Every structure is written in structure tokens, then in C-alpha cells.
Amino acid sequence: MRLTSTRDKTVNASFKDAIQQCMPQDGGLYVPDGAADLRRWILYTNEQTSFSSIAGALTSAFINNEYSPIICETVATKAFPFEPVLKQLDEKLFVLELFHGPTCCYRDFGVSYLAAMLETTLHMENKNSILLDYTSGEHGAIIAKALKGKKHLKSILLYPKGKVCGLNEEDFVWNGGNIFPIEIDGETELGHSLINEIFKDHDLVKKANLTVSTSANIGRLIPQTFFYTYAFSRLKNKVSSDIYYALDPENYGNLVAGLYSWRLSLPVSGFILPSTKALSLDAIGNPVITDSIIPVEKRIEAEAGDPSNLERLEDFFSHYSQMMKNFVYLSDVSEKETEQAEKELFIKYKRYSDYHTAKAYAAAVKNQDLIDEEGGAIVLLDRFHPSFSADYINQTIGDKIEIPEAIQNLKKPISLGRPVIKTPDELIMQIKKLS
């Protein structure tokens, strides 16, 4: 399967090139071009089918002309020594827990897969690559764990001054590790700006073989499709009718991944989401993407440092325009309704939930009529361990929850004692040193 740009379908790349280039030069994002019918294989999966087996098979389906099935299976096995957990809350409600990776966050899956795929590709081509990312939280630790032991892959991580955390001394490049953390004299806006400026220099990007671990990289997004097939493999003998997935859209990556799963012939009835400013209902109740009123050619380039998958969402529905109103179910969800959802999940199901899961559940409650039909079900995507929302849970429910050691470690500060950078030129110097 080739990958094309969201802005110019004549711009295309192989999967191995796309994950290294990260973004096409026309300012768009890479998306799969075409579909595959995996219905027969999907229907043969069951509760004994491992997540890594599903990941290997779907990878082979996506990139069947580039890597052998054995290589795809090997990459998936290396990437996923952990897997999601599906739990049944009642007859019609399930929850897919995506926080059983090393840092208790769903991003563990995407970054670990991208790192394993890049390492395999770079080894085959005898090349090296650098991941360039900004973080002020757990993402640095996610990358550090994913890159542990990698020989062809290093990471430059930009942090706000004084906010380096979640790393170990052995992770640092100067100690033989793969992580080169850099403090910047600013916050999020500067971090994203620096990365976006670097990626405008196509010669530098090519020479240093720079890429990112954000969902701007299609290699980070594709593994999120595996969630839905895994869930279905556990649901197929329990649910006899429609299956809907409820999630907080955030940057829309999990929504896009779910739609790609549908394109692979996975039985999916729809997605239930809280509305956002960018994805909302119009005057007659149809879902609409706000940015769609601006022609693609008049937009700024997609940002490597701060990607939004809305452009991929638009691209998808440009091919299936009539499907959006029958496939995406939006509800306005207030803070009060989110709080009520948090309480209900605890009272009714004895579970603590992070803020985003509570918000998704609030949207699901508003769309119960979708599964009034006998045999239907809603699956909540629970992306973060509840302790990420410990303060919110304490405020809403009144309980103090235990914070796992893995999450405590994410917040441990690290003192670098190295110069702080302010400009793209200073960052370029560091990139050249590492490459």
C-alpha cells in the first residue's frame, strides 16, 4: 500500500520512506492510499489471538510489498511485550484499557511500534536516524523506553527549562544511551516553533535523517488501528449486533485510526465523541469539520511538532462523504456532565477513570439509543491510567488514589547542567553534532 499526501495525491511514498521523511514536502500529511479486505482473517481472530499477532498481520496488510510477513511479525513482537485489556462493565458497556504499557499511557503502543519499525528499516538500509520532539511531560520517558537498546535510532528531546523529568542517567547519549535532552528558554509555543522551523529545512532533514514520534508520522498512527481489531477479537463472541467506540478525540488520531480499521473491513458501527471547536454539529445536526471551509492550498503547512489529524479526517471523508453523518456521533458535553460521568463510573462500576474517559462516557450516555437494539454495545477507549487524573478524581469523588511507581517516576526531575537554547540555529548545531 502506497502512502499519499493529504494535499496532492501525486505526492506519494513507500511506508519505509514515509516513516523516515515524516512529512511530504507539500505541507500535508501522509495517509494510506487504498484499502484491503481482511474480513476473513479478522473473523478468525479470537480471545487467544495476541495483540502482537494482530499487529504483525495488520502491518503486513498495510505494507505487504515492502516487508515479508515474518519481518512484520518480528517487528510487532519486539514492539509489544505488553497489550491492552478489554473489560466488560455491563451487558452493553465495555472498556478497552490502553494504559498497560511501561508508562501507563496509550502512546506507549504507537511510539514503541514506530521505534521498532524504524530500527528494523534503518538496520536493513545501514542508516541512522534522529527523532526530534518536544515534551513537557511523560512523552520523553515513553521515547526513552522505546529506544532502549536501539543501535540506529537516537532522540533529541526539547524540554522547557527546569522541566526535564522521567529519564534515567543511562538514557543520555553522553552516557551511552539514545536520548539527547535539551532545555529551551521557553514553553510549548517555542518548542513547537523550533521543531517546525527545522522541518522546513528539507536539506537538513534529509541529511540528518530527521523524523518525529508524534502522530504527524504515519508510523506512529498506524499501530492505533490495532486497538480496534484487538477489541473486536474479544467482543465477537459476546456482542451480536452493532459495536460503537466512545472516545475523547484529543488530536483525532484514535478516531482516524478507527476509520482506517473500518477500511480494512473491521466491523465498526460508529464512533461516539464529545464535540470540539474543530469537530462539531452544524445548524441541522450534521457533523462538520470547521477547517473544511478553508481551501487546502490556502492553509499553513501541517506541523511536525504539533500535529492535528483533522486533515487526515478530512481526507478520509472526502472519499466517503456520506458516511460522516452516519458514522461520527457528536454530543456537546459540559464540565458538569463530565463530573457526573466520573461519579457514575465509580458508583455504578467501581472504577476510577481519567478525565478523558469520563468525558467519553458522558458522550456515550447521551447516545444510548444507538444500542437500544438487542445485542449492541459501546466500548470506551480508556487511554490513560486513572492516576494521571488523580487531582480530578480527588476533586470529583473525594478519593485519593494510589499512584503507581511507573507514573511517579515520570515526574522525577532531572538536572542537566547544560546550556539552554533559544534559537533554531542553536538547535541546528546540536543536530549536526549528534548526526
- pLDDT exceeds cutoff 80 at 64: no
Kindly state whether residues 155 and 101 are assigned to the same domain.
no
CA distance to 223, 429, 430, per residue, from 433 (Å): 32, 6, 5
Kindly state whether residues 237 and 279 are assigned to the same domain.
yes
Residue the block writes with cell 529506544: 147
Q: What is the grid cell recorded at 164?
A: 526535564
Strand 12-13 and strand 3-5: the pairing is: antiparallel
Tens digits of per-residue pLDDT, 211-220? 999 999 999 9
Instruction: Tell whether 117 is covered by a domain.
Output: no
Which residues on neighbouring strands pair with residue 328, listed in sequence order? Answer: 271
Instruction: Tell whether 407 is covered by a domain.
Output: no
SS3 state at 180? strand
Kindly state whether residues 225 and 365 are assigned to the same domain.
yes
Amino acid at 350: K
Residue whose C-alpha is closest to residue 370's, from 328, 317, 335, 333: 328
pLDDT at 35: 74
Q: How far apart are CA 59 and CA 76, in angstroms?
A: 8
Burial tier of 417 (Cβ tally within 10 Å: 0-12, 13-18, 19+): exposed
In the sheet where 12-13 sits, what is the strand order? 12-13, 3-5, 30-32
Kindly state whether residues 92 and 155 are assigned to the same domain.
no
Structural domain total, the chain:
2
Give pTM, 2 decimals.
0.95
pLDDT at 37: 80
Kindly state whether residues 267 and 166 are assigned to the same domain.
no
Amino acid at 282: D
- The values of phi and psi at residue 418, to 5°, are -125, 160
Kindly state whether residues 83 and 147 are assigned to the same domain.
no
Beta carbons within 8 Å of 408's beta carbon, 6+ residues apart = none
Instruction: Tell whether 244 is covered by a domain.
Output: yes
Instruction: Tell whether 123 is covered by a domain.
Output: no
Kindly state whether residues 333 and 364 are assigned to the same domain.
yes
Q: What is the mean pLDDT of the chain?
A: 92
pLDDT at 40: 83
pLDDT at 306: 84
Beta carbons within 8 Å of 417's beta carbon, 6+ residues apart = none
Express as a percent the part of the chain with pLDDT over 70: 99
CA distance to 71, 106, 222, 279, per residue, from 60 (Å): 9, 22, 12, 32
Enclosing domain of residue 156? 128-208+413-434
125-163 burial code (b ≥16 CB/10 A, e <16): eeebbbbbbbbeebbbbbbbbbbeebebbbbbbbbbeee
pLDDT at 293: 65
Residue 382 — very low, low, confident or very high, per pLDDT cuts 50/70/90?
Answer: very high
pLDDT at 170: 94
280-298 burial code (b ≥16 CB/10 A, e <16): eeeeeeebbbeeeeeebee
Tens digits of per-residue pLDDT, 3-44? 999 999 999 999 999 999 889 989 999 999 877 788 888 888
Residue whose C-alpha is closest to residue 341's, from 375, 380, 306: 380
Q: How far apart are CA 80 and CA 52, in angstroms?
A: 6
Residue 318 — very low, low, confident or very high, per pLDDT cuts 50/70/90?
Answer: confident
Rounded (5°) CA angle 157-84-387: 65
N-term to C-term CA, the chain: 31
Kindly state whether residues 378 and 419 are assigned to the same domain.
no
Tens digits of per-residue pLDDT, 321-332? 778 888 999 999
Identify the CATH number of the domain in which residue 142 sits: 3.40.50.1100
Tens digits of per-residue pLDDT, 153-209? 999 999 999 999 999 999 999 999 999 999 999 999 999 999 999 998 989 999 999
Q: What is the grid cell recorded at 129?
A: 536516524
Kindly state whether residues 94 and 180 are assigned to the same domain.
no
Express as a percent the part of the chain with pLDDT over 90: 77
Kindly state whether residues 258 and 338 are assigned to the same domain.
yes
CA-CA-CA-CA torsion sign (172, 175, 177, 178): positive
Instruction: Tell whether 112 is covered by a domain.
Output: no
CA distance to 71, 154, 352, 419, per residue, from 274 (Å): 39, 37, 20, 43
pLDDT at 184: 96
Residue 355 — very low, low, confident or very high, per pLDDT cuts 50/70/90?
Answer: very high
Which residues on neighbouring strands pair with residue 155, listed in sequence order? Answer: 131, 179
Kindly state whether residues 347 and 230 are assigned to the same domain.
yes
Instruction: Tell whether 401 is covered by a domain.
Output: no
pLDDT at 319: 73
Kindly state whether residues 426 and 309 are assigned to the same domain.
no
- pLDDT exceeds cutoff 90 at 308: no
Q: If you count DSSP H runs as helices and E runs as strands, how many of each does the chain have, helices first?
A: 18, 15
- pLDDT exceeds cutoff 70 at 416: yes
208-221 burial code (b ≥16 CB/10 A, e <16): bbbbbbbbbbbbbb
More confident residue, 313 or 374: 313
